[in-house]
Amino acid sequence: PKLMAHVIIPEAEEILDKEFRCLDKGFVRLIDYMGGDESIVQAARVSYGKGAKTNYEDRNLIRYLMRHQHTTPFEMVELKFHAKLPLFVARQWIRHRTANVNELSGRYSIMKDEFCVLDPKDIRYQSKINKQGESEDEVPSELGQEFINILIKGQGAAYEKYKYLLEKGIERGLARINLPLSLYTQWYWKIDLHNLLHFLKLRIDKSAQREIRVYAKAMAEITRKVVPLSYEAFENYVLNSLTFSKLETKIISQIINKGNLKSELEGIASLLNTAEKGAPINYKGREFDKLELREFKEKLENLL
């Protein structure tokens, strides 16, 4: 059998090496990719070539895989990013260990005089109920500006001492150790799509620190260009979805009017019985494929 040709995605080609600006001096850009939605479909079917499947069937297959957490086919796609980011963002980012990373080395290179300086409006108070979170209370502009001034003064002083130590011949690896976390670094970061989507789910979330959310949102925009069908499914079934515990499900089932729910189930069954084969089903103003609507019906039945 003939092997599927190398996948080239025009929308991804258009943004290769394009800088998506992040924070004041940072960026993230796509420098390479391997595979696309087509690769996921091929891997899931364990066959070669496109076969006779339609785009509609490919989309439904990808959505099925995402719904049921069949993750292996998504690992067939890889994206390689080049990012310029502050050290304090990098130290959160590196917690995602399922990637290949190569970072700029301060032992071999002289670090540039580039530090992250936030906008005063982006300064937040510490949350009183979440040890990692920010408060919704607004920081007065004077305090925000004072924070910025302290950063800039400390950054300048630290970099001057760094240069002084280098001039005295101190080893670069030692001279750098007093530089602050606001210093910019750079790295190449290569990851498969399954783990990238996990990264995005955690780092786009409002509970993540704002500064890393900026990068995650830029990467999400890039990812959508490379795998539009997979990203759509990710948004529908992961990013914008909710899960409930066993206890929560019991409570929800007690809240729901069971008489109305039974009637709703009968209506769904009627739709499933009369739907044309392979055609989407319109339910409550939304488009479902037949299998997806049947699975939703089963979830509702479990509440009874």
Active site residues: 203
Q: In angstroms, how far apart are the furthest CA atoms of the chain?
A: 83
204: tokens are: 């786009």
Strand 78-86 and strand 100-103: the pairing is unpaired
Calculate ∠ Cα 223-100-102, nearest 5°: 110
What's the rounded Cα separation, in Å, for the pair 269 and 303? 16
Closest to 123 (Cα-Cα) out of 95, 98, 148, 92: 148
Q: 30-55 as b/e, with b when 16 or more CB fall inside 10 Å?
A: beebbbbbbbbbbbbeeeeeeeeeee
End-to-end CA distance of the chain: 49
Phi, psi of 176, rounded to the nearest 5 degrees: -80, -15
Q: Indicate if the alpha-carbon torsion angle 98, 103, 107, 111 is positive or negative.
A: negative
Give backbone dihedrals phi and psi of 99, rounded to 5 degrees, phi first. Answer: -145, 165
For every residue of 209-262, DSSP letters joined together read -HHHHHHHHHHHHHHHHH-HHHHHHHIIIIIT-----HHHHHHHHHHS-HHHHH
What letter represents residue 11's amino acid?
Answer: E
User: Contact, 82 vs 90, CB < 8 A?
Assistant: no
The CA-CA-CA angle for residues 138, 185, 23, to 5°, reads 30
DSSP line for 122-141: G-EEEPSS-TT-EEEEEPPH
DSSP annotation of 2:
P
